[in-house]
A and B are shown apart, each in its own frame.
Chain A
């Protein structure tokens, strides 16, 4: 999946598992950028009585590089606390929850938001700091309420209104939401991980199976937990200006999300204490920039290390980008479909096109005379967004590959078909950007996971609940109705 359970260790730690990261110019508030970091993957909506929540022992962070060096300049930190309001019951709620202060709601979650401007602070950039006071460090909000999970029509009637109460404006004007949402990422996971089967071209697969006509969205009707921010661009740029010229380097930000746990965790036994204890500095256990990076481009034995490392060390993992395993596999799995890709792989030429897309950003003039999202030569897996590119009135879910510069890999919007985009890129669609003589195989045009009807289809199966305003991800599926009988 994008980054759901993408590494051995984090697959066993769902509350710290970053699943998707989105960054886009807000279509209904174009002076702002929306950042969404998702955690706690693959939630079955009926998962009670202990419904899903953020980890109260996890430090969640959204990090931003705004001066093109691959290192963090701004961090938004989120920390959560749980409260038992009623007690004496096993139930999540003892009646309908009509408001966020409902007396019927037993287990609630609250959170704080802290912004760190690292240039102004006197703290070391990579944790081991333990002081919330001081220059450059500002708590923007505390005791902010999460909405409950969407349980069903009796417990959480009128859920959209209830969840809307959890949209808060912070002290600097940033808007925030943290809570359950409908999964927005779509993928035919069962097909792709069955030896790279792509249903639209599976008749050419090395191992023939009876054809399955319809693609299957493996994340359909599942939920996720989202941390969403809508931030004025002037609070993100290094010079404090509103970006207006897409050719200017400072119009570009690089974004990644991390989750950290304290170094040591232990459980008390007996003595009437049931709260585990955590001590020591925060230690990164999960990271996400571009979708599928760790999932597809990093060998299994290195995935946990990748999750623990900072982006500016990603030259360590560049080999998987420059010589991707999947590019070698496609001509093997589809023996008749990718002769040009096979020749490219055999040549040993490094995939500088993929390195630009994923590790440095695309330099000015490569895709378009007025487009770039280049963040310098430091190789770092960042989700890069040129904020001077306005939202598209007719978004194409293939993003830049579909000639829509407002979509992935210029940031990432909810409906962008990132699986298809990256499959096409790895199959050779983007290699002509650096070698005009290279002709992608005809099959590249057919490479598609088959979950969208066409480029303008914004309603991939099971994800049709996107909202037109913040936090954009749809109302979570409720456990009474989903799964359906």
Chain B
């Protein structure tokens, strides 16, 4: 089974952002970092259904490598995205 307990997970987190729709839980300056959009990079459209209200937790496991684990429902989605990891770091510092 998975080698990480709930408490250990929380203890070891280098950065955890929890939100019902990520941006709702971060401070305004951080939200700006996460939500700055340009004409070339418009805000993605969200589906019009209850799934957007489900909690999402991001666990930045290695900010330099851009490793982020996303948890929602009973799923874990591992992504490698340096921009996302950096944005989450800035949002929490």
Contact = CB atoms under 8 A, between A and B. Distances in A.
B43 interface: no
Nearest to A265: B6
B81 interface: no
A270 to B, nearest CB: 12
Contacts of B2: 126-128, 263, 281, 283-284, 308
A193 interface: no
B6 A263 contact: yes
Given A264-B9, A264-B57, A266-B57, A281 B75 contact: yes
Contacts, number: 78
B1 A284 contact: yes
Interface string A246-270: 0000000000001011111110000
A285 B56 CA distance: 22
Interface residues of B, number: 22
Interface residues of A, number: 26
A441 interface: no
Nearest to A284: B1
A130 B72 CA distance: 11
A283 B76 CA distance: 11
A261 B5 CA distance: 8
B30 interface: no
A434 B6 CA distance: 42
12 contacts: A9-B7, A262-B74, A263-B76, A264-B57, A265-B10, A280-B75, A281-B71, A282-B74, A283-B6, A284-B2, A308-B3, A309-B1
Interface string A278-291: 01111111000000
Nearest to A285: B5
B12 to A, nearest CB: 12
Contact of A280 (B5, B8, B74): B74
A348 B2 CA distance: 34
A130 B57 CA distance: 17
